[in-house]
Amino acid sequence: MEAGGPASAAGQGESSSSSGAMAVDAAGGVEKPRFEALMPSEMSGGRPQFRKVPVPQHRFAPLKKAWMDIYTPVYEHMKIDIRMNLKARRVELKTRQDTPDVSNLQKCADFVHAFMLGFDIADAVALLRLDDLYVDSFEIKDVKTLRGEHLSRAIGRLSGKGGKTKYAIENSTRTRIVIADTKIHILGSFVNIKVARDSLCSLILGSPAGKVYSKLRAVSARLAER
């Protein structure tokens, strides 16, 4: 019995020293190991991860003009390699050894994709800085099947005279909207995208702009109270 005392004490000393070497959560009396987050370079066996964003034909000229505005935040601030593959007509992104967070790769891919959809650089760059921003896309035919002049009038209702209606929806819902022929893209937070989409759908279905404005004022007041 006496010999067992020192041995058990030594065993306890070894366990305490080993637990000190590893961070441990002792919640509920159960010791659980707590590991540090892996760097992107340590994931996938050290192999870099890639994203590829296709470039539509009509976005080549704007991409060439704004390339440095896209390259600078992606390469210098997010620590992601970026290049234009002219043969495959796509922008390619890759993680680096010093990339601080693996989510940066997807953020950069979303940023480039938003630019390809038609958003301004100043608006799309918010996807790199904020976590709760998304891009939602839908077509007019998803809401209502329209053809010919009916479709043209629906697009006109969405924009308004000189873009007045579109700007009013953007400012009241704190979103950005791109109307590209029959496709509509909305950039913003989840709740704000829903409010903007509901307003656009009402316009597509034939509601007059005045009625949509009054609904927007009510919804914006409720959002401001939260």
All structural domains of the chain, each given as residue ranges with its CATH number in brackets, are 47-131 (3.30.1370.10), 132-225 (3.30.1370.10)
- 3-class SS of residue 178: strand
Backbone CA torsion sign across 73, 79, 80, 82: positive
**Is residue 41 very low, low, confident or very high in pLDDT (cuts 50, 70, 90)?**
low
How far is it, in rounded angstroms, from Cα 195 to Cα 215?
10
For the segment 106-125, what is each residue's pLDDT rounded down to a tens digit?
Answer: 999 999 999 999 999 999 99
Lowest mean pLDDT of 10-19, 58-67, 71-80, 211-220, name the range. 10-19
* Other residues' Cβ atoms within 10 Å of the Cβ of residue 19: 13
Q: What is the pTM of this model?
A: 0.75
β-partners of residue 50 are: 94
Residue for token digits 């790199």? 128
Quick check: 111 and 134 in contact, CB under 8 A?
no
Mean pLDDT of 137-150: 88
Higher per-residue confidence, 84 vs 9: 84
